Amino acid sequence: MSFGLHSTTDEVLAGADLRGKRILVTGVSAGLGVETARALAAHGATVIGAARDLVKAKAATEVVRKDAANGGSLALIELDLASLASIRAAADRLVAEGKPLDVIIANAGVMAAPFGHTADGFETQFGTNHLGHFTFINRIASLLRQGSRVVSLASSGHRFANVELEDPNFERGDYDPWVAYGRAKTANILFAVAFDQRHKARGIRAVAVHPGGIQTELARHLPEGATQGMIDQMNAEQAKEGKPPFQWKTVQQGAATSVWAGVVAAADEVGGKYCENCHVTTTITDGPLGLMNEGVRPYALDPENAAALWAKSEEMVGETFS
């Protein structure tokens, strides 16, 4: 069955039996993370939900426990992706438990945040969105079973900027929240490319996904009116092309590509790829891309770029991962 822009999590998972699958989802205190966990647990998966604020996450995930079926369940773990100490503690606990994983969905993130730093001095967006997941996933990679997958949530926002490995923390250049977001989201794609390259020989694949435009807490750092300004710009572009105006995706539609890439699509179809609207993106171009049009920048899928980012990331966090 083919899926697309308007497909929901329940449509994508219709008939799926996820009993016996252990799936870790980061960012389960709101939005896409909660819906991703809900859909998976509703089809029998054992879900481990990671969140910085466990009190908030427990309240937000009541719907996950309510909808869990066929043996599905949810357990919460504390994980602050802006702190290497928290990341290492969470990873060490999971490794000590030794329970294998079938899927990791790296969902948590921040967008267009004001200039700041993580606990370890990394620029907030690059440090949280990329380095946090990079360290956490690599530290628990030994738990991934043969045939498992890593899903890295990226964004069409990767088009704003390639990674900048000479100045990742904006120590020399002027800070722009959207450039920083673009660098971090490009890094999320490149991480999937590099992780896939390193692990596919043992049947473990990684894929990057863009969920689409959804109204969630991710936009909390944007000034009032900024979102509407972006929508007006998109609608002007759409009108020029004779296309209908922008419409927000629902959270159920936004989380669909994550679960599709994680448990539905064929591994060889999505491994090392960038996906949106529940399919692999075929448009790879340096040319103009409307904000609503599908497509990925070549630099985000470049293996050499991915390898360079991996090496820089190891240097920054002070760990080497095979």
Q: What is the DSSP string of 177-194?
A: HHHHHHHHHHHHHHHHHH
Structure-model confidence comparison of residues 233 and 62, the more confident one: 62
> Where is average pLDDT lowest: 100-104, 239-243, 249-253, 275-279?
239-243
Q: Are 281 and 175 in contact (CB under 8 A)?
A: no
Residue position matching structure tokens 């427990």: 58
- 283-295, pLDDT tens digit by residue? 888 877 766 679 9
The mean pLDDT value for 171-177 works out to: 94
Task: Please compute the mean of the pLDDT values over residues 240-265 and round it to a whole number.
Answer: 88
Catalytic residue among 175, 181, 274, 299: 181
pLDDT digits (tens, 9 = 90+) for 77-92: 999 999 999 999 999 9
Range 243-266 average pLDDT: 90
Tokens 């971090």: give the residue.
184
pLDDT higher than threshold 80 for residue 44: yes
Q: Is the model's pLDDT at 225 over the cut of 70?
A: no
Cα–Cα distance list, 91 to 140, 142, 218 (Å) = 6, 11, 25
Question: Could you give the 3-state DSSP secondary structure of residue 202?
Answer: helix
Nearest Cα to Cα of residue 101 among 10, 25, 44, 14: 25
Say what the pLDDT of residue 173 is. Answer: 85
CA 316 to chain centre: 21
3-state helix, strand, coil in the chain (%, to 5): 45, 15, 40
Residue 4 half-sphere exposure toward CB, CA atoms < 13 A: 1
What are residue 73's phi and psi, to 5 degrees? -155, 170
For position 2, what pLDDT does the model report?
A: 86
Q: Is the dihedral of CA 128, 132, 137, 140 positive or negative?
A: negative
pTM of the model: 0.92
Tokens representing residue 232 in the block: 């007006």
Question: What contacts 189, CB < 8 A, 6 or more positions away?
Answer: 152, 154, 158, 208, 274, 296, 300, 301
* pLDDT > 70? residue 200: yes
Euclidean distance between CA atoms 167 and 300, whole angstroms: 18
Minimum mean pLDDT range among 24-28, 56-60, 172-176, 269-273: 172-176
At residue 240, the pLDDT reads: 74
Q: How confident is the model at residue 229 (pLDDT cuts 50, 70, 90)?
A: low
Mean pLDDT of 59-63: 98
Tokens of 190: 């490149």
Q: What is the DSSP string of 58-85?
A: HHHTHHHHHH--TT-EEEEEE--TT-HH
Q: Which CATH superfamily does the domain covering 9-317 fall into?
A: NAD(P)-binding Rossmann-like Domain (3.40.50.720)
Q: How many residues does the chain have?
A: 322
State the pLDDT at residue 213. 82
Indicate if the pLDDT at residue 156 is higher than 70: yes
pLDDT above 90 for 116: yes
- Per-residue pLDDT tens digits for 133-150: 999 999 999 999 999 999
Asked if 299 is an active-site residue, the reply is no
Inform me whether the pLDDT recorded for 1 exceeds 90. Answer: no
d(C-alpha 117, C-alpha 109), whole Å? 14
Say yes or no to pLDDT of 226 above 60: no
Residue 65, pLDDT > 80, answer yes
Higher pLDDT, 296 or 219: 296
What's the pLDDT band for 247 if we cut at 50, 70, 90? confident
What per-residue confidence (pLDDT) applies to 238? 63
Mean pLDDT of all residues in the chain? 93
Q: Give residue 292's pLDDT.
A: 66
* Other beta carbons less than 10 A from residue 128's beta carbon: 23
Distance, CA of 25 to chain centre: 10
Residues in Cβ contact with 143 at an 8 Å cutoff, skipping those fewer than 6 apart? 94, 95, 98, 99, 100, 101
Question: How many whole angstroms separate alpha carbon 202 and alpha carbon 205?
Answer: 9
